[in-house]
A and B are shown apart, each in its own frame.
Chain A
């Protein structure tokens, strides 16, 4: 006895959140901690692991391939994030107008986003097949734009750009959906007032639409950066050998003779990079 009602309520509160706390800790904290630990060891599958301090990290940053992968990832993330945001914005503005069959077309646009990545990747591969694909048939045989056939997806120089175009095509519907829903919530009176004041179309967009969309665009950019920075399956399935950081890590950690220690170090480095970006972004752009 002796416990006040308040104390007892607080104990009950703690008890009630205990199960979810345990689950969250075991599903989120444990993998992170386990990753940090194995990044400090030379991990062996059969014998005992040996502690090697920061050796794995040194190996990672002294490898030119890591920096190459980092650069490719940077280009991929910037281009796809900007691309999906701009295309999504454009399409959302267009779809916000009145025209026949609007509902049907609005939902049609979602198709790339909801189609399973596996099937669309193979459709793309088939389209760009150098010998049988329709793209080469069209550009080389029918239109004569290129003088000879080549492998657009397979060629290391063009693979990155195809992966970027693919990502924009597949994910712009998500941005479009978010922006459209925000657009519909903007009060029409604002535009009417602006028109009375003699504002041009561009000025209406610049001083009403854009400020209203600021935070939704900001969140979309943040989400896309996080998702695309860690993107694996799209790029791995679509291209032959495009090593962004996630794929580079996969090869280091799991392909052939595996090096889980270095793989873990790579993951921690990526995690740290992303975390720093998110913190700066939240403060500067989303003004938290």
Chain B
């Protein structure tokens, strides 16, 4: 008997060590994976902790790559280890919400705590649940996508800025010189989110919807088909193989005439200029490949909306969401920290992580003089009018999941499952016919509904 007890105790002791977890910790998942941005978030956490000594929790900031977040979140839900606060693209937040994984009451009450009228209304609408006055998540910040192009090359060639489909294709053909290692345009050609972001803008500029206002699948409409054909044509003038936003580096190297990108590039261009300035050939004569065109920033133009039958812009709102952890104490603590992130100083400090890329969803912040004095001088460089145009653009972002003001939940599911980029990948990279790729995508979507 004695031996038996010893055996049992030993087993329990070993299990106990494995499962011991005494610390009270809040998990905050963010898609800001860059180290300088994480440092900024941790600084905000420390400031919050210092000014709120009664706050009992440690805040553990976990960075997760954007493309992996939905996967990680689903895995956490399956294993009952959901985090307490997540910063994620609104489309994904809605997809989680429709699966019942979110504490929407927390989000809704936080929005009314901050004040509904202070948000841009279009931004709030993207987070709205089908029932009125309830929200999946709290909008946090946003970016706008557009075509960035070599204004000097265009001028020299006598080409129009890339706004209409015809002008875009003409310029892509003109500048595409693979034998000189120079390419016409960068659009997403890999099976991931970037492809969907770029494609959505083309589809909407031809008035194509994924679903109509009644929730019927309209993937196989003539407008959508036309958009797919045009996209596949443009892909021929993109650098070889599957490409995503990382290929924007080719633009910095003067090997690309146009690329789709968010307003995050404003900061990147400014940073590249700073970095290049410290690596000029005078300082590092033998360092080849570090050359950076000092005029690139001023030679870069941007077209925010493209046109076929109508103007279409695209962008993404990033939201803060509260997972359904069924632990009121933790959720309340997460809400308290989230509300702190919306106080002017903390909010502006957060947005200044990437001026241009992170734009406020609160109206009053966009005119706040502190916000307009950003460390990279983006406001000064692009002028307050251009910046106002970009921020205003947030209010009219179009996605497939809001049709005529109605929430189409299935569209967020399709986004989250990456069905559209997988379809484009098959067409562009595997040479599958548009008919058969469309048919497969339709079948996959129907299986989800």
Contact among A11, A12, A45, A153 with B241 in the assembled complex (CB-CB below 8 Å): A153
**Structural contact, A45 and B242, CB atoms closer than 8 A:** no
Kindly state the separation between the CA atoms of A257 and B448 in the bound complex, as whole angstroms.
Answer: 8
- Dominant SS at the A interface? loop
**B75 close to A (CB within 8 Å):** yes
**A150 close to B (CB within 8 Å):** yes
Contact among B6, B101, B242 with A46 in the assembled complex (CB-CB below 8 Å): B101
Number of A-B contacts (CB under 8 A): 104
**Structural contact, B101 and A130, CB atoms closer than 8 A:** no
**A103 close to B (CB within 8 Å):** no
**Structural contact, A154 and B417, CB atoms closer than 8 A:** no
| Per-residue interface assignment for chain A, residues 115 to 157, with 1 indicating a CB less than 8 Å from any chain B CB and 0 otherwise | 0000000000000001110000000000000001111111110
Total number of B residues with any Cβ neighbor in A under 8 Å: 43
**Structural contact, A23 and B240, CB atoms closer than 8 A:** no
Known: A19-B10, A149-B181, A149-B240. A45 touches B78 (CB 8 A): yes
**Structural contact, B100 and A46, CB atoms closer than 8 A:** yes
**Structural contact, A130 and B240, CB atoms closer than 8 A:** yes
Q: B74 contacts which chain A residues (CB < 8 A)?
A: 45, 254, 256-258
**Structural contact, A46 and B99, CB atoms closer than 8 A:** yes
Chain A 2-25 interface residues, beta-carbon cutoff 8 Å to B: 11-12, 15-16, 18-19, 22-23
B72 to chain A, nearest CB (A): 8
Q: A256 contacts which chain B residues (CB < 8 A)?
A: 70-71, 74, 95, 413, 416-419
| Per-residue interface assignment for chain B, residues 71 to 110, with 1 indicating a CB less than 8 Å from any chain A CB and 0 otherwise | 1001101100000000000000001000111000000000
Known: A15-B4, A23-B14, A131-B181. A151 touches B99 (CB 8 A): no
Kindly state the separation between the CA atoms of A266 and B268 in the bound complex, as whole angstroms.
Answer: 43
| Per-residue interface assignment for chain A, residues 142 to 186, with 1 indicating a CB less than 8 Å from any chain B CB and 0 otherwise | 000000111111111000000000000000000000000000000
B273 to chain A, nearest CB (A): 20
Q: A43 contacts which chain B residues (CB < 8 A)?
A: 78
**Structural contact, B99 and A45, CB atoms closer than 8 A:** yes
**Structural contact, A255 and B417, CB atoms closer than 8 A:** yes
A201 to chain B, nearest CB (A): 46
**A260 close to B (CB within 8 Å):** yes
Kindly state the separation between the CA atoms of A153 and B413 in the bound complex, as whole angstroms.
Answer: 30
Additional 12 contacts, C-beta under 8 A, given A19-B10, A241-B429, A255-B417: A11-B3, A11-B4, A15-B4, A18-B7, A131-B247, A151-B242, A240-B242, A241-B242, A255-B418, A256-B416, A256-B417, A256-B419
**3 closest A-B pairs (Cβ-Cβ)?**
A151-B241, A154-B241, A256-B417
Query: 26 interchain pairs (CB within 8 A)?
Result: A11-B3, A15-B6, A15-B7, A16-B3, A23-B11, A45-B77, A46-B99, A46-B101, A131-B239, A131-B255, A132-B249, A132-B253, A148-B178, A150-B240, A151-B239, A153-B241, A154-B242, A156-B429, A241-B190, A241-B191, A254-B74, A255-B71, A256-B70, A256-B416, A256-B417, A256-B419
